[in-house]
Amino acid sequence: MTRRGRQTRGSDSRSDKSHLQQSRSRPHSPESSRYYVFWKPYDVLSQFSPAIGSTADTLASFIEHKEVYPVGRLDRDSEGLLILSDDGLFQHKLCDPRFGHWRTYWVQVERTPDEKALSQLRRGVHIRGQDTRPAHVERLTTPPDLPARFPPIRARKSVETTWLKLSLTEGMNRQVRRMTAAVGFPTLRLIRAEIALTDTVKLTLDQLAPGELRSFSKTELAGVREVKQTQPTRTTRRPTKRDRL
């Protein structure tokens, strides 16, 4: 595991997305490529280049590896598991919703969703002009063991909050937040906790703290091989620019 202190942001003008697209045309094997799991803290951009007009930290404030790029994204106000790699084919097959890789989130919402709201989330809700795919949703009886967020969430003292565990196979822009808002329970805090490479190999935040990075294990590298050999499980919708891991 590695962790860097914050540093002054440079003038890195690389396009993370274009580098990964270019790497899809080059052969990569798990032995020759690099794969990392990073716990992205709150208020950090999922990119190495600073955004114009933004004061937010970037991945460059934490990660020294300059030839890897985010596999998918997490919004600035979201936290948790972010994959970094130089393997474009792996990125493509993991992010494309046609391959059906589950990603799991811990979601803190205002108030307590009833069964009607949970059923709506499971079936899919209508957001941004389309219906979301069916999701796995459960209400947690015990909050996940997480470090405090800084700054803390803006919770109202008179309103209770509830933690949900929500799993999706697609990643539209701000999808989880839009889904919970659509059923009347706004998201206050959002952490990506797990990404399934295969049915048996899953990446988690275990043994990491916010801002820390680790390499894939041998088992996880075997999962990478399986990901790259898979064929699409769905053909109903091709990915769009709004799709993200």
Domain boundary assignment for the chain: 16-98+204-229, 102-193
Residues annotated as catalytic (active site), given as ranges: 75
Please check whether residue 3 is in contact with residue 211, taking contact to mean a CB–CB distance below 8 angstroms. yes
pTM listed for this prediction? 0.85
Question: Quick one: pLDDT band at residue 154, thresholds 50, 70, 90?
Answer: confident
Domains 16-98+204-229 and 102-193 share a fold: yes
Residue 19's pLDDT band, with cuts at 50, 70 and 90, is low
Q: In Å, what is the CA distance from 123 to each residue of 31, 54, 74, 75, 179?
A: 40, 37, 24, 24, 11
Classify domain 16-98+204-229 by CATH number. 3.30.70.580
> pLDDT tens digits, residue range 62-119?
998 778 999 998 999 999 999 999 999 999 999 998 998 999 999 999 999 999 999 9
Domain 102-193 architecture: 2-Layer Sandwich (3.30)
